[in-house]
């Protein structure tokens, strides 16, 4: 689906199995930038290359036209097909230095951040050809992108600003109402969102977890509100044993989420709030 000049948006479904009899249906969004050399922003899970190549052919290009892959961060649903595409096409791979170690050593990532079915989601490690820094520019013309380092979901997460189109791609930075809150540092996340609120004007907000938004300000505020709700629920419900299944359920209940979403990633998110419990982290 074309969402802006030279920018195509592709939704890729997948699933995770966090426990016996539990299947969580998920999806992740990939961008395809139709420039002289195609740019992929993220690659979905392992096997997503077929859907990506079909989308490319739908607007008259070929997979061999892919010149680079920009990875918003290192998690499985974003890097899953990167190794396969690189091996097939020979394109460059770009990412922030804060994420490179887990991309180039996925076994390490699987140990340090276990995700159910990790090996099924990731085709393998991928070497990074160019490390991205805050303020770097990728591409040319109407779809050129400025890299903004926006930690919170992960330490090296980036947002891509399309200044000529008043558009952002925020990756997984923003929690989405009605979905799992997954992030590593609520204070860093809030700071990153406040930074994005100062970028303007904004007309379109694209993310990995939600449909395109034509109300970027509201989407940014909704993300902050989700973090605030998690923080308040933890402060009200935490007991002497810290992060327990009961605390996780209390947070999910406050967010209106079902019990089957009580997965390890939720406990990690809750744990990230513990150093800040004596603070109002989001005004």
- How many Å is the maximal CA-CA distance in the chain? 60
Model confidence over 131-140: pLDDT tens digits? Answer: 999 999 999 8
For helices 49-58 and 82-89, the axis angle rounded to 10 degrees is 60
Q: Enter the tokens of residue 98.
A: 């804060």
Model confidence over 167-225: pLDDT tens digits? Answer: 999 999 999 988 999 999 999 999 999 999 999 899 999 999 999 999 999 999 999 99
DSSP string, 140-187: -GGG-EEEEE--SSSTT-EEEEETTTTEEE-TT-S--TTS----S-HH
Of 189, 190, 213, 211, the closest CA to residue 203 belongs to 213
CB environment 235-254: b (16+ within 10 A), e (fewer): eebbeeeebeeebbbbbbee
Residue 90: pLDDT band with limits 50, 70, 90: very high
Residue 195: CB atoms within 10 Å: 13
Model pTM? Answer: 0.96
Give Cα 69 distance to the centre of its chain.
Answer: 15
- What fold does the segment set 2-215 form as a domain? Metallo-beta-lactamase; Chain A (3.60.15)
Averaged pLDDT for residues 63-91: 98
Give phi and psi for 96, each to the nearest 5: -75, 145
Greater confidence (282 vs 2) lies with 2
pLDDT of residue 19: 77
Averaged pLDDT for residues 79-103: 97
Q: Enter the tokens of residue 31.
A: 């961008």
Averaged pLDDT for residues 77-99: 97
Residue 235 pLDDT > 80, yes or no? yes
Element (H, E) at 26: strand 22-33
Give phi and psi for 112, each to the nearest 5: -85, -25
Give phi and psi for 277, each to the nearest 5: -65, -20
């Amino acid at each position: 689906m074309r969402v802006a000049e030279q920018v195509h948006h592709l939704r890729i479904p997948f699933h995770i199995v966090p426990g016996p009899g539990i299947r969580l249906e998920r999806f992740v969004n990939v961008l395809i930038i139709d420039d002289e050399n195609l740019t992929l922003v993220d690659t979905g899970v392992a096997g997503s290359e077929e859907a990506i190549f079909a989308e490319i052919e739908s607007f008259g290009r070929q997979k061999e036209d892919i010149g680079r892959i920009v990875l918003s961060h290192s998690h499985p649903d974003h890097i899953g097909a990167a190794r396969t595409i690189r091996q097939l096409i020979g394109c460059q791979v770009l990412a922030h230095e804060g994420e490179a170690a887990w991309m180039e050593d996925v076994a390490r990532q699987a140990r340090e951040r276990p995700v159910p079915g990790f090996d099924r989601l990731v085709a393998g490690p991928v070497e990074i050809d160019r490390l991205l820094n805050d303020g770097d520019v990728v591409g040319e013309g109407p779809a050129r992108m400025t890299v903004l380092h926006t930690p919170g979901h992960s330490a090296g997460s980036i947002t891509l600003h399309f200044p000529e189109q008043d558009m952002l791609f925020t990756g997984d930075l923003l929690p989405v109402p009605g979905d799992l809150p997954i992030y590593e540092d609520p204070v860093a996340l809030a700071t990153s969102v406040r930074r994005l609120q100062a970028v303007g004007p904004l007309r379109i907000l694209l993310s990995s977890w939600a449909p395109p938004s034509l109300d970027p300000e509201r989407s940014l505020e909704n993300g902050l509100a989700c973090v605030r709700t998690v923080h308040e629920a933890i402060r009200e419900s935490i007991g002497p044993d810290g992060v327990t299944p009961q605390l996780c359920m209390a947070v999910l209940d406050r967010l209106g989420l079902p019990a089957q979403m009580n997965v390890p990633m939720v406990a990690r998110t809750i744990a990230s709030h513990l150093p800040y419990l004596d603070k109002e982290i989001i005004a």
